[in-house]
Each structure stands twice: as structure tokens, then as C-alpha cells.
Amino acid sequence: MTAQRFARSVSILGATGSIGASTAAVIAEARATGQADIVVEAVTGGSNVGALVDQAAALGARFAAIADPALAGDLKDACAARGLSIETGAGPAALIEAGARPAEWVMSAIVGAAALDPTLAAVRRGVAVALANKECLVCAGDLVLAEASKSGARLLPVDSEHNAIFQCLQGQTRVETLTLTASGGPFRTWSLDRMAAATPDQACAHPKWSMGRKISVDSATLMNKGLELIEAGRLFGLPEHRIDVVVHPQSIIHSLVTFEDGSVLAQLSEPDMRVPIAYALAWPDRLGLSTRRLDLAALAQLTFERPDMERFPALALAREAFRMGGAAPAVLNAANEVAVDAFLNRQISFLDVAGVVSEALERAGGLDLISKSPSSFDEVAAIDAWGRAEARRAADRRRAA
């Protein structure tokens, strides 16, 4: 079957990050090979004006927005200095405008719950939203899904595990269980003593994937897999006990689906985020990509092991939050964002990250805050703020100790 050349207008929220760069690379290849006509409507960045202007220029974007409102003038000046006559904006409203502008396909790749408002602006327009960001589904999953079904927006999973499952589910029925694979991160074989002294750079040195610092720390604690467990539950509508996690250090099998007849389908590729991004961009078709091809004989072995819950308690915490339901996942996510930030700023130790999240969850349970799912985005914001404040206090106590 030959694929049709297709046309798309797209926006990239979080264009200056790791996923943003991979998305730009996929667009460049689709254009250069004549597979697609792609118009780039909007790009956003956090605080790196130079990187944002580079992306806007390379992609030919019509609008560029920077999250930090103090950088409005710098962004204008940098565009002028490059001879780029595009519209610019800064601050939260400009990021929402980037999601709201008329693109048919929007990549959601801002890190953390900060992605929520700009992503919602795209979801509410009823277009295709490629979801790399997972924190939004963890903290406000039911509400985001409800908005998507109201507007008719199509959520296309980009997280490699969820994209793998999405690929395996095309045209299928009778799903029994999902199995998420985890690389095990940089500390898979480390002792607890060694982990206790781990530095931010060691935690960010992922053996298989090159990613932003927040998700890299999440991969080192295995909280990333915990967040992904909740993300999978939301996206595919399955309860916690029907989603399994297995450590697979080679990161070749990106996830698996077991069906009611005992059949198992999996998606495999070299670990390269361009593969799931391209699948989301061209879906229900595929794009030709120049990514490295698998050489199974050269790999020789694919191995699997159970996650060690003692050294990686974050995974157990996320499973517990998923089982508890209600607002527990939102507290888990908020506390984790604060704890990771404190670790990256060398305020707490690596093992304290899970400790801080655990304390915040415990306190939320004691207050009965957790029992009810947030019924509005205002409630999500309030729970998120509560979880952050609790985690900051827990981190400060550990710093003082």
C-alpha cells in the first residue's frame, strides 16, 4: 500500500524541549521527502528565547509564544534581529493562544501540569492532539477526556509505551491486560546506598533515551512508569489491576497488549521518539522515516525482570494513588513535580524524592481530600496547589534535617 501525500497545519506546545526537537525533525523529514505539506501555526517555549526563535525560523511558524512574561520584549527583539516578521506573545495567555490558534494537529509537549491550559485550548477546538505530556492526564484525566469527547478532539498518545499500545489496538477487541515496559533507568543495578548519594547529573544520564531533566529523574525513580500506569488507565479505560509493568533494559519492545485468547501483540523499534511522533502525525496512515532499523540478531537478547519495589518505591506509590482514585493522582503528580525540582536543585537527596511524595499523599488521605475526583479545572488547580505546598514543606523538613 502506498501512502498518500497529506497536508496538515500543526502547532507545537513545548517546541524548545526534547520532544519539541524530535517533532521538528519529523516535520522536516516529512517536508524534505515530499510526504506531507505541513504549515506550522504556533510554537511555544518556556524561557529560552534563542531556542524558540531558532525553532520558529526553522519551521516557518506564524506565531511564537514564550511562557515567561518578562521575556516579551526579548522575544520581539530577537525576531527582529533575525529578520523574522512573525507574531509573538508572552505569558500564560499567549501560551493558551498558541493552543487556540487554528492548527489541525497540536503537539502537547510542555513538561508538567503547566501544559494543562494550553493543551485544553487545543482539545476544546475538537482537533487532533498528540499527547507527549502525561502529567495533564494524571492530574485531570477524567476532565480532559470529557472535554475531548464534548468537542470531538482526537487524543493521540505519543508517550512511547502508550503509542505502542495504541498501535497494537488498531482494529482489535477483547483486551485482557496491558504490559508497560520500563528501561529500569540509570540506577537499575545500583544498591540503595549508592542511590542515596546519586547526583542530578547521574539521575539524568539515561541509558537509552535522551530526554528533558524532569522526565529523566522520573525515569530514575520509576515514578515515570507510575505516571504512565495512570496515563494508560485513563487513555485505554482499564483499572489498575489490568496494567502490568515489566523492566526491559534494552527498550526495544515499547509495550504489549494481551488479548482474551492469550495472544500478545507488541510494538518494537529502536528507542527513538521520532517513531511515535510520526505515527501520531500521520495516523491513521504512516510516515516513512530514516530512523535506524532493528537488527534482532545483532541485539541477540531481549531480557525482562520484575521491578524492585524496595529500591523504587515511587512506582508503588503511583499504583496506590491510581487504586485510590479521586484526587490522589493529582496530589501525587504535584508533589512529585516539587520533589524532582528540589532534587535537581540539590535541596534533597535522590531517595527523598519518593519520601516527599509519600508524605504529601499520606497527609492528603488524612484530610479526606483524596476521596473525591476533582469536578472542575478550578478544583484541579486547588488540589495541585495544595499538593505543591505540602511537598515543599516536606522537602524543607528534609533539608533542615
Q: Which stretch binds ligand NAD (CB under 6 A): 104-112, 122-130, 296-304, 305-313?
A: 104-112
Q: CA-CA distances (angstroms) from residue 226 to 120, 138, 191, 346?
A: 23, 10, 21, 23
Per CB under 6 A, the list member of 100, 123, 130, 211 interacting with ligand NAD is: 211
Residue span 333-362 as binding mask against ligand NAD, x where in contact by CB under 6 A, dash where not: ------------------------------
The DSSP symbol for 184 reads: -
- Residue 188 sits at φ, ψ, to 5 deg, of -55, -40
* DSSP state letters, 208-258: S----HHHHHHHHHTHHHHHHHHHHHHHHT--GGGEEEEE-TT--EEEEEE
Q: Which stretch binds ligand NAD (CB under 6 A): 105-113, 146-154, 358-366, 388-396?
A: 105-113
Residue 192: alpha-carbon gap to chain centroid: 27
We find the least distance from the C-beta atom of residue 18 to ligand NAD, in angstroms, to be 4
Q: Of 45 and 226, which has the nearer Cβ to ligand NAD? A: 45
Q: Tell which positions 133-172 bind ligand NAD, by CB under 6 A.
A: 133-135, 159
We find the least distance from the C-beta atom of residue 156 to ligand NAD, in angstroms, to be 13
Q: Tell which positions 149-168 bind Mg ion, by CB under 5 A.
A: 159-161
Residues 6+ apart with CB under 8 A from 338: 356, 387, 388, 391, 392, 395
Residue 218 in the binding site for Mg ion (CB under 5 A): no
Q: How many residues bind ligand NAD (CB under 6 A)?
A: 26
Per CB under 6 A, the list member of 9, 10, 11, 14 interacting with ligand NAD is: 14
Q: Of 10 and 273, which has the nearer Cβ to ligand NAD? A: 273
Per CB under 6 A, the list member of 40, 42, 56, 114 interacting with ligand NAD is: 114
94, 75 contact by CB (below 8 A): no
Q: CA-CA distances (angstroms) from residue 192 to 187, 251, 274, 313, 397?
A: 9, 23, 34, 11, 22
We find the least distance from the C-beta atom of residue 160 to Mg ion, in angstroms, to be 5
Helix 350-366 / helix 328-344 crossing angle, nearest 10 deg: 150
- Dist CA 67 CA 37 (whole Å): 28
Strand ranges of the sheet holding 253-259, from the earlier edge strand across to the other edge: 243-247, 175-182, 253-259, 264-268
We find the least distance from the C-beta atom of residue 62 to ligand NAD, in angstroms, to be 18
Positions touching Mg ion (CB under 5 A) are 159-161
Positions touching ligand NAD (CB under 6 A) are 14-20, 45-46, 67, 95, 109-111, 114, 132-135, 159, 209, 211-212, 214-215, 273
